[in-house]
Amino acid sequence: MAQTESSRLGMLANPIVFIAVLIIVSVIVLIGAAVVGIDTVVLSGMARSEFARGLITYLFSVVTIGTAVVLVLAALLSDGTDVSEKRFQHGKEILSLLLGLFGTMVGFYFGAETASAPKGEAAIFKMSSPDVSPPTVEVGGRITVRAVVSGGVPPYRFGIGFGREEPQLQESVNPSGWIVKEVPVPPKVRAGDVLVVRVLVSDSGDRKTDQFSEVQIKP
């Protein structure tokens, strides 16, 4: 009888058995606490995707880092026997698997956090390259400039300039984000020149972006 009890205690002293028993007991305690209403954080919080994602990532991080620490200590403290080498190799294989899963989980976690950020903060303020028509125009003629703005914080303001001229932000962009503006060709250009058209836009956060296009002046 005493031998049977000592053998059971010896089994519990085995790290594998001890960890398995600890996990089972922890799960039972957690479920029991949720049933009687003591636990109002963990299991109830798992219904929220943000909480569940963060908790699972945290637990997996602890397990992966803990496994890496154990392997480092094993490499430093091993006696160099064949048994130690085999155990170390098995540990490396497990760590490689954990690192692959860990990298996937962390990438998904931060990717989901970025995707769930408010659109006004996550969207990049940008403008398409302007479309200028007609592509060739006579001296003293008129061109139509079209572009579309997205991201940032509307409403937007825009201005159109030529060459190195700094456009004045005097006009409002359509709420749809489209810019459609007919402008005269400056009188100082000469036949055969290539005229650079600059479109400058700012949002309500005073962020600015610009794009350039070209139009050929007919000879």
Check: pTM over 0.75? Answer yes or no.
Answer: no
* 105-106-108 Cα angle (round to 5): 65
- Judged on CB neighbours under 10 Å (0-12, 13-18, 19+), 160 is buried
HSE-up of residue 92 (Cα within 13 Å, Cβ side): 9
**144 pLDDT higher than 90:** yes
Is the CATH number of domain 123-217 3.20.20.140? no
Residue in the block written with tokens 């943000």: 50
- Judged on CB neighbours under 10 Å (0-12, 13-18, 19+), 132 is buried
What average pLDDT is seen over the chain?
Answer: 76
In the chain, where are the structural domains located? Answer: 2-120, 123-217
- What is the band of 121 on the pLDDT scale with cuts at 50, 70, 90? very low
